[in-house]
């Protein structure tokens, strides 16, 4: 491994983005984004399409003009510099390999620009190809490569210039599922080995969580939450983030505070909480979000034992493998539940939901969540 | 009954095919026949004497035809140089510009085609006369280039539009200046289309008659002018041979188009 990475050294650079405003035509896309990237970290920009994550990436590397704000790399503001002066290397969603060049010419292009000697270019490209598992592919035409191989060549081309910053624009979205899994680990491993600062744009939650040290969830041109994968997944800051991170079941609840504690109720079902669990909960009408695997099915008349036990009826059942997936009608909503036990459609059941696993937000905020 | 119908259909298809072949090959056959007819007069359906006398006359090093061919080719080459020098930057700008500037730009290049060419060339001849470039190769080249630009800008714009923007951005991204990007990425990728537009201009120039007639005569004699003079003088043999020589580059061009030009470039022509 040591020998393979010889000659490839990307010391990661720090980036500070301050109050970045970007517009396409007259339409504002980013409304004042401020974000820090520490050297050598792997950050994923995550959000649904149109949230501005790709625009943020493209404005970092200079493809999209910045209306106001600053992008400081190291100690200089690059916001107004052309793309070639920013010291960032991008891997494109479409790979953007040059079809009239060989693999060697594609990867060596940036080195040739910098006036590197031909023998040195050949040596460096060979070591990069070895790292990417493509040894001996120098003279191939890029049009003769498979999707996964093109992806690696695109990565090699970006890394060849020893960038401080590696930008990844949905690089895995055109690959089939199996290669995508392998590439996730490979890109992550290479980033760790080289210590380059990586910024990865994706709409795939799992991809972001498995690859990145830190997630930045974006919503409508603003940052909705920044945190480690665990923080964002387990403690979403808003209804939008909870929903986006997979807590797709929605249950209207009422939170009441009284002298003897806090009560969360959904219809007739009530669960009481000890005070130290409940201080963050909003009082009054609220909406609870939870994941398919947070709840389980029980008898409709089972003892609540501190959980919310909401009566419902099974509307449909499917078997995605390992456990059953039920669609349950409860509290006037369709709720998806995973459970190991087999129940028949039409049966009356009780949804057992541990209150700790609910993400509860005020009803007013939930109305604005996408 | 059905046998008669199928027979009828087959013979109809045969007649249509024959008519098509006749329309396509007939004039060519006539040219070839005329080029080898040393004597051919009225009561006879075919030439009286065959021979290659006129071919020898045309290809004689001192003949008018060889001199005209030389003039025609050098004018065509110069025209291509002038047209490409304008249509490469103009085509690139057109491919990357946004409407409505793009439409305005296009109209400027298409405008010469909107008027009867004779009217334009008479005025051009008048202006060139004042400038003192009437009857010079330069004058003819300028007229041919103005005519060829209409097509070459159009085709070049299509060729540049077919180059994915990300391919350029990828080069800029790892450190190439805009100019370097253009010459190492954009131009090589658009090259087949640009070359095709150059060949098109070359052929247009080789074929051009009206403009040359008004601007070049009598000092500049190109192949079409020679053909015109020969035909007017009743020398059908020389006229036929000249016409056949003019055909060669067109056929080569068709073969090039068929072989090298990608369908996505062709689809963007006029878009």
Q: By the CB < 8 Å criterion, does B260 face chain A?
A: no
CB pairs under 8 A between A and B: 58
Asked whether the predicted pLDDT for residue A2 surpasses 60, the reply is no
Q: Which two tokens stand for residue B234?
A: 């009743």
Do residues A164 and A311 both lie within one domain? no
Do residues A344 and A271 both lie within one domain? yes
Do residues A203 and A71 both lie within one domain? yes
Over residues A37-64, the pLDDT tens digits come to 999 999 999 998 888 999 999 999 999 9
Do residues A220 and A247 both lie within one domain? no
Question: Which residue on chain B is closest to A82 by alpha carbon?
Answer: B172
Contacts of A131-136 with CB under 8 Å at 24 or more apart are A131/A4, A131/A5, A131/A8, A131/A156, A131/A190, A132/A156, A132/A186, A134/A103
Do residues A198 and A256 both lie within one domain? no
Q: Which of B167, B170, B184, B193 to mutate to test the interface with A (most CBs of A within 10 A)?
A: B170
Over residues A65-113, the pLDDT tens digits come to 999 999 999 888 999 999 998 889 999 999 999 999 999 999 999 999 9
Please state, for a pLDDT cut of 90, what percent of chain B lies above it: 23
Domain ranges across chain B: 2-50, 63-268
Q: By the CB < 8 Å criterion, does B170 face chain A?
A: yes
Is the preceding peptide bond at B218 cis, omega within 30 degrees of 0?
Answer: yes
Domain B63-268 has CATH 3.40.50.10190: no
The CATH code of the domain that includes A171 is: 3.40.50.300
Q: Which of A109, A115, A153, A196 to mutate to test the interface with B (most CBs of B within 10 A)?
A: A109
Asked whether the predicted pLDDT for residue A119 surpasses 90, the reply is yes
Q: Which residues in chain B touch residue A124, judged by CB atoms under 8 angstroms apart?
A: none
Question: Which residue on chain A is closest to B98 by alpha carbon?
Answer: A25
Do residues A117 and A212 both lie within one domain? yes
| B49 pLDDT tier (thresholds 50, 70, 90) | confident
Do residues A251 and A214 both lie within one domain? no
Number of domains in chain A: 2
Q: Which residues in chain A touch residue B184, judged by CB atoms under 8 angstroms apart?
A: 109
Q: Which residues in chain B touch residue A61, judged by CB atoms under 8 angstroms apart?
A: 173
Asked whether the predicted pLDDT for residue B235 surpasses 60, the reply is yes
CA angle A329, A333, A335 (to 5 degrees): 65
Question: Taking a C-beta distance cutoff of 8 angstroms, is the pair A35, A224 a contact?
Answer: no
| A305 pLDDT tier (thresholds 50, 70, 90) | confident
Do residues A132 and A250 both lie within one domain? no
The whole-number average pLDDT for the span B124-131 is 90
Question: Taking a C-beta distance cutoff of 8 angstroms, is the pair A23, A67 a contact?
Answer: yes
In a domain, A9, yes or no: no
For residue B35, the model assigns a pLDDT of: 82
CA angle B49, B54, B55 (to 5 degrees): 115
Residue A98 to residue B185, Cβ atoms within 8 A: yes
The CATH code of the domain that includes A316 is: 2.40.50.140
The whole-number average pLDDT for the span A311-327 is 90
What's the pTM?
Answer: 0.78
Coil, helix or strand at residue B48: coil
Please state, for a pLDDT cut of 70, what percent of chain A lies above it: 94
Q: Of A235, A252, A271, which residue sits at a domain end?
A: A235
Asked whether the predicted pLDDT for residue A4 surpasses 50, the reply is no
| A165 pLDDT tier (thresholds 50, 70, 90) | very high
Question: Which residue on chain A is closest to B168 by alpha carbon?
Answer: A96
Structural domain containing residue A76: 15-235
One-letter-per-residue 3-state SS of chain A = CCCCCCCCCCCCCCEEEEEEEEEECCEEEEEEEEEEECCCCEEEEECCCCCCHHHHHHHHCCCCCCCEEEEEECCEECCCCCHHHCCEEEECCCCCCCCCCEHHHHHHHHHHHCCCCHHHHHHHHHHHHHHCCCCCCCCCEHHHCCHHHHHHHHHHHHHHCCCCEEEEECCCCCCCHHHHHHHHHHHHHHHHHHCCEEEEEECCHHHHHHHCCEEEEEECCEEEEEECHHHHHHCCCCHHHHHHCCCCEEEEEEEEEECCEEEEEECCEEEEECHHHHCCCCCEEEEEEECCCCCEEECCCCCCCCCEEEEEEEEEEEEEECEEEEEEEECCEEEEEEECCCCCCCCEEEEEECHHHCEEEEHHHHCCCC
| A155 pLDDT tier (thresholds 50, 70, 90) | very high
Over residues A204-260, the pLDDT tens digits come to 899 999 999 999 999 999 999 999 999 999 999 988 999 889 888 888 888 887 777
| A131 pLDDT tier (thresholds 50, 70, 90) | confident
For residue A1, the model assigns a pLDDT of: 37
Please state, for a pLDDT cut of 90, what percent of chain A lies above it: 47
Q: By the CB < 8 Å criterion, does B164 face chain A?
A: yes
In a domain, A10, yes or no: no
Q: Which residues in chain A touch residue B98, judged by CB atoms under 8 angstroms apart?
A: none
Question: Taking a C-beta distance cutoff of 8 angstroms, is the pair A13, A198 a contact?
Answer: no
Nearest to A84 among B166, B175, B185 (CB): B175
For residue B264, the model assigns a pLDDT of: 62
Q: What is the CA radius of gyration of chain A?
A: 25
Give the helix/strand (H/E) hosting B37: strand B37-39
Query: How far apart, in whole angstroms, are the C-alpha atoms of residue B155 and residue B193?
Result: 7
Query: How far apart, in whole angstroms, are the C-alpha atoms of residue B128 and residue B138?
Result: 10
For residue B1, the model assigns a pLDDT of: 62
Q: Which two tokens stand for residue B83?
A: 């047209």
Highest mean pLDDT among A270-284, B26-40, B253-267: B26-40
Residue B174 to residue A98, Cβ atoms within 8 A: no
Do residues A207 and A352 both lie within one domain? no
């Amino acid at each position: 491994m040591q020998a393979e990475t010889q000659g490839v050294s990307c010391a990661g650079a720090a980036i500070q983005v301050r109050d970045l405003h970007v517009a396409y035509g007259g339409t504002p896309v980013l409304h004042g984004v401020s974000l820090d990237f520490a050297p050598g970290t792997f950050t994923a920009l995550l959000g649904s399409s149109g949230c501005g994550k790709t625009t943020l990436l493209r404005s970092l590397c200079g493809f999209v003009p910045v209306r106001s704000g600053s992008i400081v790399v190291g100690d200089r503001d690059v916001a107004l510099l052309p793309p070639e002066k920013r010291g960032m290397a991008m891997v494109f969603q479409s790979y953007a390999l040059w079809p009239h060049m060989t693999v060697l010419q594609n990867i060596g292009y940036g080195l040739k620009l910098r006036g590197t000697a031909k023998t040195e270019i050949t040596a460096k490209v060979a070591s990069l190809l070895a790292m990417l598992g493509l040894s001996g592919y120098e003279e191939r035409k890029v049009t003769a490569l498979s999707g996964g191989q093109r992806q690696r060549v695109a990565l090699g081309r970006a890394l060849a210039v020893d960038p401080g910053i590696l930008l990844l624009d949905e690089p895995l979205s055109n690959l089939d599922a199996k290669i995508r899994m392998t590439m996730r680990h490979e890109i992550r491993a290479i980033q760790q080995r080289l210590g380059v600062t990586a910024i990865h744009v994706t709409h795939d939650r799992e991809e972001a969580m498995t690859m990145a040290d830190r997630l930045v969830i974006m919503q409508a041109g603003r940052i909705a939450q920044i945190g480690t994968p665990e923080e964002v997944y387990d403690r979403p800051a808003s209804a939008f983030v909870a929903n986006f991170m997979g807590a797709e079941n929605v249950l209207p609840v009422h939170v009441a505070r009284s002298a003897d504690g806090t009560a969360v109720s959904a219809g007739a079902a009530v669960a009481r909480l000890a005070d130290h669990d409940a201080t963050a909960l909003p009082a009054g009408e609220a909406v609870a979000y939870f994941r398919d695997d947070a709840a389980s099915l029980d008898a409709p008349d089972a003892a609540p034992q501190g959980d919310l036990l909401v009566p419902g009826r099974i509307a449909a059942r499917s078997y995605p493998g390992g456990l059953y997936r039920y669609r349950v009608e409860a509290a006037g909503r369709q709720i998806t539940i995973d459970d190991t036990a087999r129940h028949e459609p039409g049966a009356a059941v009780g949804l057992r939901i541990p209150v700790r696993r609910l993400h509860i937000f005020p009803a007013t905020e939930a109305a604005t969540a996408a | 009954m059905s046998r008669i119908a199928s027979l009828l259909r087959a013979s109809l298809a045969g007649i249509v095919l024959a008519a098509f072949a006749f329309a396509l090959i007939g004039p060519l056959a006539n040219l070839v026949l005329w080029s080898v007819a040393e004597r051919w007069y009225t009561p006879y359906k075919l030439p009286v004497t065959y021979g290659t006398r006129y071919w020898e006359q045309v290809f004689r090093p001192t003949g008018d035809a060889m001199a005209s061919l030389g003039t025609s080719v050098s004018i065509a080459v110069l025209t291509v140089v002038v047209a490409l020098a304008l249509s490469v930057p103009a085509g690139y700008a057109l491919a990357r510009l946004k409407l409505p500037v793009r439409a305005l730009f296009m109209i400027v290049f298409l405008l010469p085609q909107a008027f009867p060419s004779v009217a334009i060339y008479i005025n051009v001849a008048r202006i060139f006369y004042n400038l003192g470039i009437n009857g010079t190769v330069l004058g003819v080249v300028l007229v041919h280039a103005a005519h060829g630009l209409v097509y070459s800008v159009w085709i070049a714009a299509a060729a540049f539009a077919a180059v994915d923007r990300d391919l350029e951005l990828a080069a800029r991204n790892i450190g190439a200046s805009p100019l370097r990007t253009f010459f190492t990425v954009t131009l090589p990728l658009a090259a087949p289309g640009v070359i095709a537009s150059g060949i098109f201009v070359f052929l247009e120039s080789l074929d051009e008659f009206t403009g040359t007639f008004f601007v070049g005569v009598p000092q500049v004699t190109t192949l079409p002018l020679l053909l015109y003079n020969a035909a007017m003088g009743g020398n059908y043999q020389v006229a036929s041979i000249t016409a056949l020589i003019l055909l060669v580059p067109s056929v080569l061009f068709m073969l090039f188009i068929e072989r090298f030009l990608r369908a996505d470039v062709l689809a963007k022509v006029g878009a």
